[in-house]
Structure 1
Amino acid sequence: MEDDPFDAEIIQRLLRKEPWNMELTLVTTRNDYETALGRFHPDLILADNSLPQFDAGEALQFARQQSLYIPFIMVTGTVSEEYAVEMIKAGADDYILKDRLTRLPAAILAAINQQQAKKGKQEAQEEIRRSNERFLTLSRLTRDAVWDLDLTTNSLWGNESFHYLLGFTSPAVPALDEWINRIHPDDREKMASRLEEIRRGAILSWEDELRLQLPGGDIRTVLDRAYALKHDGGFPVRLVGALVDITEKRKMEEEQMHSRISQQKELTRAILEARELERNTLGIELHDNINQILASINLRLGYYLDEPEGNMDVVEDCRQKLVTAIRETRNLSHQMVMPRFSEKSLRDELYLLVENYTPAMSVSLEVRKMNEKKIPPLMKETLYRIVQEQLSNIHKHAKASFVQIRLSTSSGSVELLIRDNGVGFDPQLKRKGIGISNIYHRAESYDGKVEIVSHPGAGCYLVVHIPLS
């Protein structure tokens, strides 16, 4: 900005001697100056102090009003020291007298470096401001209790959720000791130890559960995550963390654990009851059936020994009774002893099981869609016992003439269907019976599900789904 062509030429020649890639634009009026700032976007302004109706002070003021922080150097012939100081205070970077233009290149470099440093500082401050703004916004939006501890001053900051979770009713920032006192006495030592490790630099983060003891006596369980921010020297100076209230989650997990324990106890009771029932059944079968047959044989043989002449039919009768006793013993052993499915086929054992009931009722067994290789041996035992249990229930109570059994596997599960045309029952009333309970417990031990559909006079439809994974 120069109205004297001779002075402008001297300045341009001086600057062109420097190894700079530059473009110069000369303006002589206010209008040209204002237009050039918008179109030319200069990196530096050199301004004479005394243009007609326009001076360097007005030029500087206009540039700053446009938020243009461009290096500004006043180049003038004469200027008072007071005016030069006022220009520097107003934002000028330097002033050069025209009789000392040799200083101009160095002054330009210094001004540009100074403005770049100012710009970098302003951008850094703006980024810090935006970062703090984002942090505060996120801390307001999240339900987590966010906190920030200055490790050099022990000053603490917390968001609204932090105050609410720890029961601080005052909007004033609590002291570190106040926060520590809200931690359950059994967990304070752990918290103090972690803080000490952070201060020493032994660890840079932690994630742990803590219990809070609030003023009203309420106990809350929180998950505390914290991360240390280091100074340039490598020492932690800040600790930023968040408390997540997991009280309800822990209560739910405890309830689920108690429920699983109760289910396990119920299953154990059912197993013990089933064993007692099996022993009672074995005792009854031995006493009322096999023992009676053997007792009859004993009497008949005693009669034969007293009068052997002409009584060979007694021996034949005893032999037939022994055959019956052997068959009954074999049937009883099949019911009581579990086949070894690591060596035997589930398909074959089910056919043998069904044969025991075919004299009393018609039983259809369908296993064409069963891929036995997919079923683990222990799961085969469960399926076998369920079929055995239900067939026994049908034989004893249903008065059925026909039973359908279908066992099939899919990509992820095995399905067992047992249907009969017997007298039926109300599943709600029979659910607590040992036989039905055993079926449910056996299926549930493999995360399986049991569905029973039955009505009095309408038979029974039993479906068991067990996942193979």
Structure 2
Amino acid sequence: MHILVLEDEPDDVELLKYTLERNGMQPEYEVVSDKAAYEKAISANSYDVVLADNSVPMFNSMDALLMLRARKLNTPFILVTGAVSEEYAVDILQHGADDYILKGSLKRLPASIHRVLEKREALEEREKALEALRRSELRFRALIEYNADAILIRDKDFRITYASPSAKKLLGFDPEDDINPDFDPSYHPDDRPMVERKKIEILANPGKPVPITFRKLNKQGQYVWVDGVMTNMLHSESVQGIVSNFRDISKRIQAEIELQQANQELHHLSNHLQHIREEERMQIARDIHDELGQQLTGLKMDASWLSKILPGENEKVRTKIEDMIKLIDEAVRSVRRISSDLRPSMLDDLGLIAALEWHSLETEKRYGIPVHFETTCNDTRLNVEKSTGVFRIYQEAINNIIKHANAGSINSCLKREGNRLILEIKDDGVGIQEDEIRSKKTFGLLGIRERVFILGGKYNIESAPGKGTSVQIDIPETAS
């Protein structure tokens, strides 16, 4: 402990030292006896306590105290004097002295020093705590005031008690304005039931962040989409409110709506193009079958007629005509095959199931891969467009297997579950990587997904490298 003693009587100084040492105190002392020495001491050093006589030549204790405080020093100051009036004692205490001791009662001095030091330490701790609190509050306000996210604090009745500048701006206020607690922006009618359920959930779960997205009417009468969380902090002594953190997502929602509309238009366009393409296929298949097929048939009849009327001894001519007839027969078969690939006539004449069975047999004949098709359906209630869509999905899935799967066999089935048709195609090929399934560049799978979407159905693709692939299509059999 370092003590500054303002005293001009050496005997009194020794008595002070003796009193403190008897009580186990071993401080360091600096003794001054006039104003100049005192001023120099407090300017150059720091002390744990100042013990001052009431009066030294040309200087007194009040002056000493005021000089100390003028330098913003909070060093404990104890007046130690032989005699002083009660008015003076009260006056110096009011000016900041910590205690006064009469020299005739020095036995009180050690306890007084301990007490004022403890008091000063407590005050310093309190100042530190207040400073820390002030800094914490400044940081908190900086985080809140300059946060792009809007922050509201509400009471238990969801009345606004605090709004950050971002929240005020979102609600249509100037950031400097105060929001009346009774101001309660209306929720969109479609969102109100959900918001009321969320309020009940928030009140029932203290401390749990509850996500919420809704539309709110601002001061200007416009609905704003907001997204965020609300947390019940009513139980917290430092908050005592329901904290809402949210942001304006109106632009994002608008972009999503526009994107959804654009996708819808693309789906309509795709459906229209597929419809046009199917009609063109049908027309081309009909033209090839009817016109080109009839022409080839007529050509064959003419060649046969020539073969009959030419002299029998002209073997070269007869052989050439027979080759022509064979070539015409091959061309007729090609016409039928091309016509069927463009649009199987049995899809229109006999229906979807017959067309799927026919395509399975044709694939097996053409590529030598066993294709086993089975069905539990006797017929389907699909209209022409849906039947065509399912057939094209089946055709595309089989073509993908032929091109990429390196499969040894294909198994497929068509079944009915309630009001829905389930088409499943499995192979034992090399499989597909997960990123390939999700890739937008895999046009075969992309075509299947698009057709399923147009049919109002669902699809699922399961595959693993080396373990084959399963494609399952689920579509409503009739309009829902």
TM-score, normalization by structure 1 = 0.62
Distance (whole Å) between structure 1 residues aligned to residue 441 and residue 132 of structure 2: 67
Count of residue pairs brought into register by the alignment: 360
Partner residue, 1:28: 33
Residues 1:58 and 2:63 aligned together? yes
Partner residue, 1:283: 286
Query: How do 1:398-413 and structure 2 match up within 5 A?
Result: none
Partner residue, 2:118: 113
Deviations 1:418-456 (A, max 9, x none): xxxxxxxxxxxxxxxxxxxxxxxxxxxxxxxxxxxxxxx
Kindly indicate whether the alpha-carbon contact (under 8 Å) linking 1:197 and 1:203 is maintained by their aligned counterparts in 2. no
Distance (whole Å) between structure 1 residues aligned to residue 121 and residue 31 of structure 2: 24
Residues 1:323 and 2:330 aligned together? yes
Cα offset for 1:86? 1.7
After the TM superposition, which of the residue ranges 323-332 and 108-117 deviates more from structure 2? 323-332
Alignment gaps of 5+ in structure 1: 348-372, 387-469
Deviations 1:94-151 (A, max 9, x none): 1222222222222122111211222222333334344444555555544544444466
Residues 1:256 and 2:224 aligned together? no
Residues 1:83 and 2:144 aligned together? no
Residues 1:209 and 2:216 aligned together? no
Cα offset for 1:184? 4.4
Partner residue, 1:293: 296
Alignment gaps of 5+ in structure 2: 344-394, 407-431, 448-480
Secondary structure class of the residue paired with 2:29 = coil
Amino acid at match of 2:113: I
Cα offset for 1:200? 6.4
Distance (whole Å) between structure 2 residues aligned to residue 200 and residue 376 of structure 1: 46
Alignment counterpart, residue 244 of structure 1, candidates 247, 267, 281? 247
Q: In 2 relative to 1, CA 340–171 (structure 1 residues): closer, same or farther, beyond 3 Å?
A: closer
Secondary structure class of the residue paired with 1:176 = coil
After the TM superposition, which of the residue ranges 54-63 and 131-140 deviates more from structure 2? 131-140
Kindly indicate whether the alpha-carbon contact (under 8 Å) linking 1:151 and 1:236 is maintained by their aligned counterparts in 2. no
Kindly indicate whether the alpha-carbon contact (under 8 Å) linking 1:205 and 1:227 is maintained by their aligned counterparts in 2. yes
Distance (whole Å) between structure 1 residues aligned to residue 275 and residue 203 of structure 2: 59
Residues 1:67 and 2:128 aligned together? no
Distance (whole Å) between structure 1 residues aligned to residue 171 and residue 441 of structure 2: 55
Amino acid at match of 1:289: L
Kindly indicate whether the alpha-carbon contact (under 8 Å) linking 1:228 and 1:236 is maintained by their aligned counterparts in 2. no
Partner residue, 2:274: 271
Distance (whole Å) between structure 2 residues aligned to residue 236 and residue 66 of structure 1: 39
Kindly indicate whether the alpha-carbon contact (under 8 Å) linking 2:55 and 2:61 is maintained by their aligned counterparts in 1. yes
Q: In 2 relative to 1, CA 53–69 (structure 1 residues): closer, same or farther, beyond 3 Å?
A: same
Query: How do 1:343-422 and structure 2 match up within 5 A?
Result: 343-344=402-403, 376=436, 382=443
Q: In 2 relative to 1, CA 307–252 (structure 1 residues): closer, same or farther, beyond 3 Å?
A: same
Distance (whole Å) between structure 1 residues aligned to residue 162 and residue 26 of structure 2: 51
Distance (whole Å) between structure 1 residues aligned to residue 446 and residue 189 of structure 2: 53
Amino acid at match of 2:252: K
Distance (whole Å) between structure 2 residues aligned to residue 302 and residue 16 of structure 1: 148
Q: In 2 relative to 1, CA 21–173 (structure 1 residues): closer, same or farther, beyond 3 Å?
A: farther
Kindly indicate whether the alpha-carbon contact (under 8 Å) linking 2:160 and 2:182 is maintained by their aligned counterparts in 1. no
Kindly indicate whether the alpha-carbon contact (under 8 Å) linking 2:48 and 2:76 is maintained by their aligned counterparts in 1. yes
Partner residue, 1:97: 102
TM-score, normalization by structure 2 = 0.61
Root-mean-square deviation (Å): 4.4
Query: How do 1:39-50 and structure 2 match up within 5 A?
Result: 39-50=44-55
Residues 1:223 and 2:227 aligned together? yes
Query: How do 1:302-321 and structure 2 match up within 5 A?
Result: 312-313=318-319, 314-321=321-328
Query: How do 1:108-187 and structure 2 match up within 5 A?
Result: 108-136=113-141, 139-149=144-154, 156-168=161-173, 173-178=178-183, 180-184=184-188
Kindly indicate whether the alpha-carbon contact (under 8 Å) linking 2:206 and 2:235 is maintained by their aligned counterparts in 1. no
